[in-house]
A and B are shown apart, each in its own frame.
Chain A
């Protein structure tokens, strides 16, 4: 019996005008969900809405039994971590400093990290192969390394729900595979739920449990196995499994 983590009720997403028809879904822990759709269909808007960065045009999002609209920002930041598709700005922040920011919802005003915080950070840096880069500034490293640092930061935040907007975009093939494998392990071992959007369909379907497909102004939630048997993907994305 898996626990429900999100209950999405008649959700309307968009800026002023809705991108899609109302969307209903239940999301359970232990699930890796991949969001697939053509460019400009609203994948990022959906993730932004779930992350609380933009307000929904209608409907409700319930996190467990709490109404999302009523949570304050700090509470949200302990429930949901979010990695935007591109890092908005480069800075002189070191990789370590960035990853350590992931602990900030739990630290005091002076961002004092206790030994537990430090262990979590060090372990995540090791898992993401970022140890050698820890003192490098964000502007000095490659797009892929920066992407990895951002995802590492989200993991360090230790939220039950993680939202990743195109996490595989800047990674090489090996790193993509490693990342998706790590995500799928993380979801299973720690009973989390990860939602990510991706254009790497073949690879994503290998690891994801469920797919949210943007199609004809609708979001459809389909288990991966069902999707693989249907011809939906070929129809929408021109993608062929064979």
Chain B
């Protein structure tokens, strides 16, 4: 009975997902006729060259990044909400996003003293910097979490670290020159367009493998829901689980943040909607649901960012917040109480 309902719900989500992909491929500076998109995907040879390049080099990467980043942030958020048993947790809260931002800030704002402008703004340097920044914050939190048993204390420390990191970024901004500050600020607004087809070939396996591994941890994630002592008595190695969650959250968050900037709200909103839509906390359902919903939200955000302004693209970060916040408010009011 429940199974049938869930299959039905997944079908709805999949339908929205596919629909949004097609519509989003079609949307942009230049409208591409649907026939051309269909032709492109049926590998038909009579797609006009202009459209072929436009779809392959610009639209497909953009849509793929929207799907991947939405899915990754949403799964990262879900894991943190489960681990911290806090519906407000997300990649931001542990300071992982801030750590990645700090890495990028150091490179973009500070490194032009060491490298030339070109090198300092290259995608790979930013990726490495974001990864290192996220990993540094992670290592700090991990070392604390080995001493502290209480997960709430770790959450508080995560918030404090995020605060300190943001202050350092402010100081860096104060001393940096105008051009670098501008490019950093633009980066913080988030963008799905700065990712090339080649970047996607790195991003896709990295994120998909991480999500697959996390899906493999569903059983343990379900077992920690009733409590940590319970999980322990059911044979869950809590320390190992925590370390794994931290590592994969920082991979997911670090990679997405490096390529698209710190994108907010998806990580909090999508798992909530998944929990509400499927009315469950079972991770075997929640993880695929979060993947789909995260992707759907991001595609919606991308769509809006193109539709609203006819000349140019609105920052995706602003869009996800504007669309995401009312959604969460609505769900919280509907449920009257929020439970992980």
Q: Which residues of A contact B (CB under 8 A)?
A: 48, 51-53, 72-78, 80-82, 84, 87-94, 97-98, 101, 104-105, 107, 109-111, 135, 137-139, 150, 157
Please tell me if B223 contacts chain A, counting CB pairs below 8 Å: yes
Q: Does B219 lie at the interface of the complex (its beta carbon under 8 Å from any beta carbon of A)?
A: yes
Asked if B229 lies at the interface with its beta carbon under 8 angstroms from chain A, I say yes
Q: Is the CB of B339 within 8 A of A111?
A: no
The answer to whether A92 and B340 have CB atoms under 8 Å apart is yes
Whether the pair A104, B234 counts as a contact (CB closer than 8 A) is yes
Q: Is the CB of B219 within 8 A of A109?
A: yes
Q: How far is the CA of A26 from the CA of B147 in the complex (A)?
A: 36
Chain B 211-231: CB-based contact to A (< 8 A → 1; otherwise 0): 000001011001101111110
Contacts of A97 in B (CB 8 A): 222, 280-282
Q: Does B198 contact A (CB under 8 A)?
A: no
A80 to B337, CA, bound (A): 34
Q: Are B232 and A92 in contact (CB under 8 A)?
A: no
Given A89-B85, A91-B225, A109-B219, is A52 in contact with B339 using a C-beta cutoff of 8 Å?
Answer: no
Please, which residues of chain B bring their CB within 8 A of the CB of A94? 280, 282
Across the A-B interface, give the 7 residue pairs with the lowest CB-CB distance, nearest first: A88-B227, A77-B235, A92-B281, A82-B233, A74-B235, A73-B235, A91-B225
CB distance from B181 to the nearest CB of A (A): 44
Cβ of A77: which chain B residues have Cβ within 8 Å of it?
233-235
**Partner-A contacts on B (CB < 8 A):** 2, 85, 216, 218-219, 222-223, 225-230, 232-237, 275, 279-282, 284, 337, 339-340
CA distance A53 to B219 in the complex (A): 19
A92 x B222 contact (CB < 8 A): no
Query: Shortest CB–CB separation between residue B18 and chain A, in angstroms?
Result: 26
Considering residues A72, A75, A101, which has the most beta carbons from chain B within 10 angstroms of its beta carbon?
A101
In the complex the two chains form, what is the Cα distance from A76 to B235 in whole Å? 7
Residues of A within 8 A of B228 (CB): 88
Contacts of B218 in A (CB 8 A): 110-111
Instruction: Name B219's closest neighbour in chain A (CB-CB).
Output: A111
Which A residues lie within 8 Å of B226 (CB)?
87-89, 91, 93, 98, 101, 138, 150
Give the CA-CA distance A92 to B221 in the complex, in Å: 13
A81-B233 in contact given A91-B225, A104-B219, A107-B219 (Cβ < 8 Å): yes
**A89 contacts B219, C-beta separation under 8 Å:** no
CB distance from A197 to the nearest CB of B (A): 15
Q: List 23 A-B contacts (CB under 8 A).
A: A48-B229, A51-B229, A72-B235, A73-B232, A75-B235, A80-B233, A87-B226, A88-B229, A91-B225, A91-B339, A92-B281, A92-B340, A93-B222, A93-B280, A94-B282, A101-B223, A101-B234, A104-B219, A104-B223, A104-B235, A107-B219, A109-B219, A137-B280
Q: List A contacts of B340 (CB < 8 A).
A: 89, 91-92
B233 adjacent to A53 (CB under 8 Å): yes
Q: Which residues of A contact B279 (CB under 8 A)?
A: 92, 137
B233 touches A89 (CB 8 A): no
- Return B227 CB to nearest CB of chain A, in Å: 3
Q: Which residues of A contact B234 (CB under 8 A)?
A: 77, 101, 104-105, 157
Residues of A near B222 (CB, < 8 A) are 93, 97, 101, 104, 111
Instruction: Please measure, in the bound complex, the distance between the C-alpha atom of A110 and the C-alpha atom of B340, giving whole angstroms.
Output: 21
Q: Which residues of the other chain, B, contact A110 by a CB distance below 8 angstroms?
A: 216, 218-219, 284
| Chain B nearest CB, measured from A4 CB (Å) | 22
Contacts of B284 in A (CB 8 A): 110-111
Across the interface, do A91 and B281 meet the contact criterion of CB distance under 8 Å? yes
A73 touches B237 (CB 8 A): yes
CB-defined contacts of B280 to chain A, threshold 8 Å: 92-94, 97, 137
Q: How far is the CB of A105 from chain B (nearest CB, A)?
A: 6
Task: Report how far A155 CA is from B339 CA in the complex, Å.
Answer: 26
Question: B237 — which chain A residues lie within 8 A by C-beta?
Answer: 73
Whole-angstrom distance between the alpha carbons of A48 and B230 in the complex? Answer: 10
CA distance A51 to B337 in the complex (A): 33
Whose C-beta in chain A lies nearest to the C-beta of B2?
Answer: A135
Residue on A nearest B340 in the bound complex, by CB: A91
The answer to whether B233 and A52 touch across the interface, beta carbons within 8 angstroms, is: yes
**B232→A53 contact, CB < 8 A:** yes
Q: Chain B residues with Cβ under 8 A from A138's Cβ?
A: 226
Which one of B216, B236, B339 contacts A139 once the chains associate, using CB atoms below 8 Å?
B339
Instruction: List chain B residues, Cβ under 8 A from A78.
Output: 235
Nearest CB on B from A14, distance (A): 17
In the assembled complex, the Cα of A72 lies from the Cα of B237 at a distance in Å of 9
- Which B-chain residue is minimally distant from A111 (CB atoms)? B219
Q: Which residue of B lies closest to A154 (CB)?
A: B233
| A29 CA / B232 CA spacing, docked (Å) | 24
How many angstroms from the CA of A100 to the CA of B59 in the assembled complex?
45
Closest to B5 in A: A135
